[in-house]
């Protein structure tokens, strides 16, 4: 019931809590295709509406296929969507979890969440749709064979076939060729999968459970989106090539497709892909691969008119009329024809085009009426079974005859009928307080709800496969009568606020547990049997809760106290609790967990929020679990200077080892300050990202010369901010050599080197349990003054010996290492901790020897 309507509203109000569920089910089917969640509805301009009307008249579709966020050709997609008016989607095999992050320290699953949102942001600009498979980007792969073994080829193939059967593309475009020219194994694999799926999607015996849902589908043809990268002499006359000018200008949008593409590509900010807008003709080349040949046009011999839909004879003339009679100054005059069109399309038999075009028509009715519908919660979190306050805002900005007849949301126990006429430009606002359903699931990304293997995400609900992200947590369905016709529109529940600098901001409303439990470290290191403090931060998402908090520890470990009672009164309140944890005597590589108990129910998820300006706020709720290492880790020295590069979590890991870390700003790198630290570590890609490094590298090398230890982590060959002969005391040549098999054998080349013996003895056992890779961008050549300490390689490749190079320089030590410490340390890999402790302790044995000598002299 609408309890909080302003008193001055009087209209017949009848509340029903009955059989609208059937209607809701229909609505959900209808809107399945609009998978992108735009937060605040953006009202299109009259020119943009015209483009959308023209799109009603084109019934052709394209699926673009590649492996990662950023692989897709945004210019081709922008052109296909906005010039050819084709229904266009990008299927990315992965979410880009395995890459490096240029804007923050999130890696792996968290980075995958950022890149998923960057792809959605790109699609909001170029107008395409977005699909994914369940494949995890496990890092660089040298060939498709390895990729398929790790992904589980049959599972990913079934996802590609599923997307084809669901989306029913006429044309499939591969970004990559299906062979080693594609470079990355994931790239090659994406092309092989698309080619196989092209045939398999039409075979009813393949994945028959999908056929029941979507039927089979045969795309007309498949091309590879080739170019001068692969074929330097390619041009418009090359045999077997379709050449398309995608650099044309769209007068309704006021942009060229290259300009739209640049904006879209610039959304890949975590990869540093800011792109300039270009103007003028630009050719793209498509090499025919399979299906019915054509090098004249994508859609040759594809019926892209309404006549491809059975019984649509009355539709085509209506659409033509709509376009011809559209008035730029008065879009609402198109509403009667749109409503007539809706009736005709509704009467057609079921097909993918019926679903797509009905959704487009409903959206156009809303666009032409300037109808704004918004539902805002008074907090961004809601707890299942608890009350949530919602504010509704609805306005009709046209002369159309619009009446609200009902609002319904099953998950917010909302089901109301009414007759509320909406006068032209008269704002209607009301409030309501409702209880959220008790069985709602939490709003963390669906593919991260369960643990996953190295290559494949676990998705229990088959219906979610292919979707880019969760559906909004709470959806309100609005029923309108517009000029006598029923129209259904949806609005997701959102939260909005105003930032004094950035203006109005919006984030999704999320369903969360009443309390989050957060351990203060991802890894706890117990270097001996001394007890250590473990802090748990409780954050309340509910008013008035009380319960008890405890740690779940491995066998033989103890905590004091065993449990702690807590009481919190307000939403968003935080409280910290300390436990003293006493580890077992034996060395162990194990985990500990924090759990809160309220009224006999266990809550064990933590809160991880990702906030960047270019994507909506993302909330992850991983299990509150940390690595617990009981290792005999020895270290020397106490203060480490750290100079940040592209961003990594190594400083936290150093603190965890017992070091004090001074994160030095550029101007703090002075001879006087360097005297205060026991070693200096450069963050990953410092030479690529710190443009001032050239000015203080001489100071750092001088520090080494005078006895200091400098550990340089990996850099790539591109965008060097320092002369190549100035970053190391003796020449080093970087390469793209990497060792991606994290289990590859590690051969110790210099077993007696101090870095492998002091203070921790390093053996091949210390290279067990590494994650993702051994390392990357190893040097390929180095001066004879360097000792190469270890050797490893991927299967079938030559030995890579440049992973860990150490030179004595003056009285000190210079270390260059491409080993992936930045991945291993945050994951709690014991051997990586021992080896890194040795590297930063390198300068110390000599001093100890000197002290011994001094003592013996006395
Ligand atoms: Zn890629």
Cα 840 from Cα 492, distance rounded (Å): 52
Q: What is the pLDDT of residue 38?
A: 41
Average pLDDT, the chain: 91
CA dist list (Å): 584 to 519, 581, 588, 589, 635? 20, 10, 8, 11, 21
Show Cβ contacts of residue 313 under 8 Å, excluding neighbours closer than 6 positions. none
Dihedral of the CA atoms 231, 232, 238, 243 (nearest 10)?
Answer: 80
Q: How far is the CA of 92 from the centre of ligand 1 (A)?
A: 9
pLDDT at 20 over 80: no
Q: How far is the CA of 116 from the centre of ligand 1 (A)?
A: 14
Q: How far is the CA of 225 from the centre of ligand 1 (A)?
A: 14
Q: How far is the CA of 687 from the centre of ligand 1 (A)?
A: 23
Q: How far is the CA of 104 from the centre of ligand 1 (A)?
A: 20
Q: How far is the CA of 29 from the centre of ligand 1 (A)?
A: 33
Residue-wise pLDDT for 592-612, tens only, equals: 999 999 999 999 999 999 999
Residue-wise pLDDT for 317-345, tens only, equals: 999 999 999 999 999 999 999 999 999 99
Closest CA to 645 of 714, 708, 696, 729: 714
Q: How far is the CA of 100 from the centre of ligand 1 (A)?
A: 12
Per-residue DSSP letters for 152-187? THHHHHHHHHHHHHHH--SEEEESS-SSGGG-SHHH
Q: How far is the CA of 503 from the centre of ligand 1 (A)?
A: 35
Q: How far is the CA of 70 from the centre of ligand 1 (A)?
A: 7
Q: How far is the CA of 190 from the centre of ligand 1 (A)?
A: 10
pTM, two decimal places = 0.85
Query: For 20-35, what is the mean pLDDT?
Result: 32
CB atoms within 10 A of CB 145: 14
pLDDT at 857 over 60: no
**589 φ, ψ (degrees, to nearest 5):** -120, 95
Per-residue DSSP letters for 699-750? HHHHHHHTT-EEEE----SSS-SS-TTSSSSS-EEEEEEEE--TT---EES-
Q: 589 falls in which pLDDT band (50, 70, 90)?
A: very high
Q: How far is the CA of 53 from the centre of ligand 1 (A)?
A: 35
Query: For 745-751, what is the mean pLDDT?
Result: 97
Residue entry with tokens 């949301």: 409
Percent of the chain scored above 70 by pLDDT?
94
Q: How far is the CA of 71 from the centre of ligand 1 (A)?
A: 5
Q: How far is the CA of 299 from the centre of ligand 1 (A)?
A: 27
Q: How far is the CA of 115 from the centre of ligand 1 (A)?
A: 12
CB atoms within 10 A of CB 5: 19
Q: How far is the CA of 712 from the centre of ligand 1 (A)?
A: 27
Q: 119 falls in which pLDDT band (50, 70, 90)?
A: very high
Q: How far is the CA of 273 from the centre of ligand 1 (A)?
A: 13
Q: How far is the CA of 470 from the centre of ligand 1 (A)?
A: 24
Residue-wise pLDDT for 45-85, tens only, equals: 999 999 999 999 999 999 999 999 999 999 999 999 999 99
Residue-wise pLDDT for 289-309, tens only, equals: 999 999 899 999 999 999 999
Q: How far is the CA of 557 from the centre of ligand 1 (A)?
A: 45
Q: How far is the CA of 150 from the centre of ligand 1 (A)?
A: 17
């Amino acid at each position: 019931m609408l309890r909080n309507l302003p008193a001055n509203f009087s209209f017949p109000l009848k509340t029903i809590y009955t059989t609208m569920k059937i209607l809701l089910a229909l609505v959900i089917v209808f809107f399945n295709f609009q998978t992108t969640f735009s937060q605040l509805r953006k009202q299109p301009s009259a020119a943009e509406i015209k483009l959308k009307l023209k799109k009603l008249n084109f019934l052709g579709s394209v699926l673009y296929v590649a492996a990662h966020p950023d692989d897709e050709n945004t210019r081709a997609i922008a052109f296909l969507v906005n010039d050819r008016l084709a229904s266009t989607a990008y299927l990315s095999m992965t979410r880009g979890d395995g890459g490096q992050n240029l804007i923050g320290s999130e890696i792996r699953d968290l980075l995958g969440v950022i890149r998923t949102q960057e792809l959605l942001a790109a699609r909001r600009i170029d107008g395409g749709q977005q699909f994914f498979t369940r494949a995890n980007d496990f890092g660089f792969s040298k060939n498709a064979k390895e990729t398929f073994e790790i992904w589980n080829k049959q599972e990913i193939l079934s996802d590609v076939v599923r997307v084809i059967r669901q989306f029913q593309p006429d044309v499939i475009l591969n970004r990559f060729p299906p062979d080693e020219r594609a470079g990355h194994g994931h790239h090659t694999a994406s092309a092989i999968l698309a080619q196989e799926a092209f045939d398999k999607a039409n075979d009813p015996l393949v994945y028959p459970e999908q056929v029941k849902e979507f039927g089979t589908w045969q795309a007309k043809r498949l091309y590879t989106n080739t170019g001068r990268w692969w074929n330097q002499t390619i041009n418009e006359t090359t045999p077997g090539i379709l050449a398309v000018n995608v650099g044309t200008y769209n007068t309704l949008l006021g942009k060229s497709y290259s300009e739209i593409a640049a904006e879209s590509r610039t959304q890949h900010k975590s990869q540093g892909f800011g792109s300039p807008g270009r103007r003028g003709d630009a050719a793209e080349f498509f090499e025919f691969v399979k299906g019915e040949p054509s090098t004249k046009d994508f859609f040759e011999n594809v019926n892209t008119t309404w006549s491809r839909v059975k019984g649509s004879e009355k539709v085509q003339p209506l659409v033509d009329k709509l376009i011809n009679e559209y008035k730029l100054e008065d879009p609402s005059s198109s509403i009667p024809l749109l409503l007539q069109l809706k009736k005709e399309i509704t009467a057609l038999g079921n097909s993918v085009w019926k679903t797509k075009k009905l959704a487009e028509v409903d959206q156009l009715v809303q666009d032409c009426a300037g109808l704004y519908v918004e539902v805002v919660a008074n907090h961004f979190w809601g707890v299942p079974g608890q009350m949530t306050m919602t504010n509704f805002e609805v306005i009709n900005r046209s002369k159309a005859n619009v009446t609200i007849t009902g609002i319904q949301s099953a998950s917010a126990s909302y089901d109301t009928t009414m007759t509320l006429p909406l006068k032209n430009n008269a704002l209607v606002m009301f409030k309501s307080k409702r209880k959220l359903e008790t069985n709602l699931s939490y709003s963390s990304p669906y593919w991260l709800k369960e643990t996953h293997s190295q290559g494949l995400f676990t998705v229990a609900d088959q219906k979610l496969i292919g979707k880019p992200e969760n559906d909004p947590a709470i959806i309100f369905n609005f029923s309108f009568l517009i000029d006598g016709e029923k129209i259904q529109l949806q609005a997701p529940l959102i939260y909005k606020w105003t930032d004094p600098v950035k203006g109005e901001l919006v984030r999704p409303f999320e369903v969360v547990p009443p309390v989050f439990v957060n351990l203060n470290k991802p890894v706890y290191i117990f270097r001996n049997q001394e007890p250590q403090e473990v802090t748990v931060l409780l954050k309340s998402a509910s008013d008035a809760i009380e319960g008890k908090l405890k740690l779940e520890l491995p066998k033989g470990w103890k905590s004091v106290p065993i449990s702690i009672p807590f009481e919190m009164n307000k939403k968003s309140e935080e409280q910290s609790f300390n436990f003293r944890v006493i580890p077992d005597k034996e060395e162990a590589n194990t985990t500990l967990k924090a759990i809160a108990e309220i009224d006999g129910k266990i809550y064990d998820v933590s809160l991880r929020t990702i906030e960047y300006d270019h994507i909506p706020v993302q909330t992850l709720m991983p299990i509150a679990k940390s690595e617990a290492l009981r290792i005999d880790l020895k270290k020397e020295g106490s203060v480490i200077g750290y100079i940040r590069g592209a961003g990594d979590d190594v400083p936290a890991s150093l603190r965890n080892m017992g070091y004090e870390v001074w994160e030095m700003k550029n101007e703090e790198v002075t001879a006087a300050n360097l005297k205060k630290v026991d070693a200096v570590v450069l963050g990953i890609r410092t030479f690529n990202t710190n443009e001032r490094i050239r000015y203080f590298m001489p100071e750092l090398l001088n520090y080494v010369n005078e006895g200091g230890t400098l550990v340089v982590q990996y850099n790539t060959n591109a965008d060097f901010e320092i002369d190549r002969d100035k970053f190391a005391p003796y020449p080093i040549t970087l390469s793209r050599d990497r060792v991606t098999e994290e289990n590859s054998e590690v051969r110790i080349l210099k077993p007696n080197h101090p870095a492998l013996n002091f203070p921790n003895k390093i053996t091949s056992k210390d290279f067990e349990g590494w994650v993702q890779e051994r390392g990357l961008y190893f040097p390929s050549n180095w001066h004879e003054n360097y000792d190469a300490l270890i050797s490893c390689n991927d299967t079938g490749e030559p030995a890579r010996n440049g992973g860990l190079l150490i030179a004595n320089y003056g009285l000190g030590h210079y270390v260059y290492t491409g080993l992936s410490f930045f991945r291993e340390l945050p994951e709690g890999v014991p051997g990586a901790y021992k080896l890194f402790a040795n590297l930063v302790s390198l300068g110390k044995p000599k001093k100890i020897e000197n002290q011994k000598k001094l003592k013996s002299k006395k």
